[in-house]
Chains A and B, each alone.
Chain A
Amino acid sequence: MNSLEFSLIVGLFGAAAGFLGALTGLGGGVVITPVLTLLFGVDIRYAIGATLVSVIATSSGAASAFLKEGFSNIRIGMFLEIATTFGAITGAFLATRVATSALGVILGLVLLYSAFLSTRPKSEIHGKVRADSLADRLMLDSTYPTPHGWEPYRVQRVKTGFCMMFGAGALSGLLGIGSGALKVLAMDHAMRIPFKVSTSTSNFMIGVTAAASAGIYLNRGYIDPVLAMPVMLGVSIGSLLGARHLAGAETRVLRIVFGVVVGVLAIEMIYSGLRGKI
């Protein structure tokens, strides 16, 4: 297979991944690294580099759309980005030390957990609760649009959320993923931030988190332009179409299909990693 054919095929896979990733909210990046390593035999380090770059593109594109709707909380994002960027740098340094087969196994486990999280019912417990003094000092509480007008919310357990964000950042830097599912978990589960605010603020943060480790990947020679090109363009176009399609679409079947695909890739990743084939 020559470069032209390879680029076209990888671009198509990227577009499909981006489309399904946007529809299901899992992000297109999660399946690109397994597809590149398992189907195309790409070294996991090149695959991680290319995926990370596409993650920046999709999250920045989505964040600009979310900002218009008024769900994103820029203060929460900025504060938690301290945790995710330090985490991302830690993860990216670790990535150069950890055996590639171990990276494969960890990625598989994170994939399975992310897919599991996406099936979890969305918690909507917030509102009249005791304030967190740190949240007060950092002015994290805000309002968000609901069908009944703007509703206030109070942010809880800021320290717990901050620590979880460091972990999410570290996994992002280690595996070249956006780790959006984990960011949402920290915000909506631990910090009791409304789900819509959590997802759009998470999207807003993913680009910064990924940029923190992208620099280190670049310096280590993980980012190959000819491989990253079709991945980045394909995933971007796919997720743009996916986001358009999202309005009013019946996504239940697609969610299940994508969930199964993610699950199979994850198990294959773990299996190949354990056998030392990655």
Chain B
Amino acid sequence: MQKNEEQVERTIGVMLRGGVISAAAVVFAGGVWYLTRFGMLVPNYQTFRGEPPDLRSVAGVWQGVLGLQPRSVIQFGLLLLIATPIARVAFSAIAFAVQRDAVYAALSLVVLTVLIFSLLG
């Protein structure tokens, strides 16, 4: 049991680190690409207009990535970052189920449902 839990903790640690590093790499690549093309534009964040629809949803961002939009690539990196803790909770649910810990498997699933509901709107 103790050994099993240590292994779970180690796997979660690797997942979190991997998620953050890959997200940062994608954001950086998209950022360099955006700035080399549009770096001379003057940004305006003073007035809130809200992002265009294609940067507001998972499906929209993915379409933008396929359409080679640098802003969508950055947003995709940010989605990877948001997905990292979600993947961690999904993994916890499985790990608790394997340990036959029904209460914690159920708790993990509740959290997972909330996270997915929020992300998919």
Contact = CB atoms under 8 A, between A and B. Distances in A.
Interface of A: 1-4, 6-7, 36, 40-43, 45-47, 53, 56-57, 60-61, 63-65, 67-68, 70, 72, 74-75, 78-79, 81-82, 85-86, 89, 92, 138, 207-208, 210-216, 218-230, 232-233, 236
Contact of B27 (A64, A213, A233): A233
B78 A228 contact: yes
B40 A4 contact: yes
A67 B9 contact: yes
Q: What DSSP secondary structure best describes chain A's contact surface?
A: helix
Contacts, number: 198
Interface in B56-113: 56-57, 71-72, 74-75, 78-79, 81-86, 88-89, 92, 96, 103-104, 107-108, 110-111
B48 A63 contact: no
Contacts of B20: 57, 60-61, 64, 236
A47 to B, nearest CB: 8
B121 A219 contact: yes
A278 to B, nearest CB: 11
A97 to B, nearest CB: 14
A232 B27 contact: yes
B14 to A, nearest CB: 7
Contacts of A230: 31
**For B55, B72, B118, which residue has the most chain A Cβ atoms within 10 angstroms?**
B118
B9 A208 contact: no
Nearest to B8: A74
Given A208-B85, A233-B28, A223 B51 contact: yes
B119 A226 contact: no
B43 A3 contact: yes
A227 B74 CA distance: 10
Contact of A3 (B8, B35, B84, B111): B35
Contact of A60 (B10, B16, B39, B79): B16
B119 A218 contact: yes
Nearest to B49: A221
B111 A81 contact: yes
B114 A86 contact: yes
Given A3-B35, A4-B40, A229-B30, A213 B82 contact: no
Contact of A43 (B40, B47, B72): B47
Contact of B74 (A6, A75, A218, A228): A228
Contacts of A43: 45-48
B43 to A, nearest CB: 5
A218 B57 contact: yes
Nearest to A142: B5
Contacts of A70: 9
Nearest to B37: A3
A7 to B, nearest CB: 6
Contacts of B57: 218-219
Given A4-B40, A60-B84, A233-B27, A215 B118 contact: yes
A59 to B, nearest CB: 8
Nearest to B113: A85
B68 to A, nearest CB: 14
A211 B86 CA distance: 7
A221 B50 CA distance: 5
Contacts of A215: 82, 115, 117-121
